[in-house]
Copies of this chain bind each other. A is one copy, B any other.
Amino acid sequence: MTITNAPAPRASGATSSVAPGTRVAVSTVIFTLRRSAGQERASVALPLVRRQSDPHEGQWALPGGWLDIVEDLDAAASRTLAETTGLAPSYLEQLYAFGAVDRSPTRVVSIVYWALIRPDEMADTSDENVRWFDADDLPNLAFDHNQIVAYALWRLRNKVGYSQIAHGLLADEFTLAELREVYESILRRKLDPANFRRQVEGTDTLLPTDRFRKGSHRPARLYRFNQDVELADRGPLGVRP
């Protein structure tokens, strides 16, 4: 038994344990909701970037890039996302580190971030090498990026049940019907309007306003999220940049 966490000789194998060839990258999963013509409800969509070089030249991949040695992880995620897609979400959350030995021809550990953006924040790009895809209908992506998206979707569909994650997909004020539609799109099923209203009104996460959405139906009250609850949800590391 060794009792240090500094580099220690391995019991077997001739390679150094300092991992000289391991590089660190960051990638980002940006989810939004998008409704196509004829669709009953919106679906979850994310931007992908076409790779311009090997490995996997020509394939679609998550936006990302290498960590710079003088750059924090969060800063690297924001920078590489902006460089590749022009997107600049106000808050990126760390999702998971992917580091399987065979995920790339060379050894790369990717720290993956994710964020939600409202449909009106989708960058209007004329770049043919950046495109939004339905998260449930992806091509074969570079590296292990299909697995990464599947994990992010699983987290999204779990987290929506106990947190205010839908916040990131809505304007500051919204009706209960608009909130319900976000949940329906993420969970891919209809929710009963009366049950939904009862459930969200039973929590302290929503604050009613004095304003109403007027349209072809009867006016619907506008709500906003309770920021106090939302900030606690993000945890001690989840401070806005």
- Taking CB atoms, residues of chain B closer than 8 Å to A27 are 5
- Shortest distance between the CB of A233 and any CB in chain B (Å): 9
Interface assignment of A10: CB less than 8 Å from any CB of chain B: yes
List 26 interface pairs A-B (beta carbons < 8 Å), by A numbering: A1-B83, A1-B85, A1-B125, A1-B127, A5-B49, A5-B62, A6-B53, A6-B65, A13-B70, A15-B68, A15-B69, A18-B66, A19-B23, A19-B67, A21-B69, A22-B23, A22-B69, A24-B99, A24-B109, A69-B101, A73-B99, A73-B100, A94-B97, A97-B97, A109-B111, A162-B162
Taken together as a complex, chains A and B put the C-alpha atoms of A64 and B47 apart, in Å, by 36
- Taking CB atoms, residues of chain B closer than 8 Å to A66 are 7, 17-19
Interface assignment of A190: CB less than 8 Å from any CB of chain B: no
Interface assignment of A158: CB less than 8 Å from any CB of chain B: yes
Interface assignment of A80: CB less than 8 Å from any CB of chain B: yes
The answer to whether B84 and A20 have CB atoms under 8 Å apart is: no
A148-156, A192-200, A210-218, A220-228: which lies at the interface: A148-156
- Taking CB atoms, residues of chain B closer than 8 Å to A170 are none
Copies in the complex: 2
Taken together as a complex, chains A and B put the C-alpha atoms of A111 and B110 apart, in Å, by 11
- Taking CB atoms, residues of chain B closer than 8 Å to A235 are 151, 154-155, 158
The answer to whether A8 and B65 have CB atoms under 8 Å apart is: yes
Interface assignment of A237: CB less than 8 Å from any CB of chain B: yes
The answer to whether B236 and A70 have CB atoms under 8 Å apart is: no
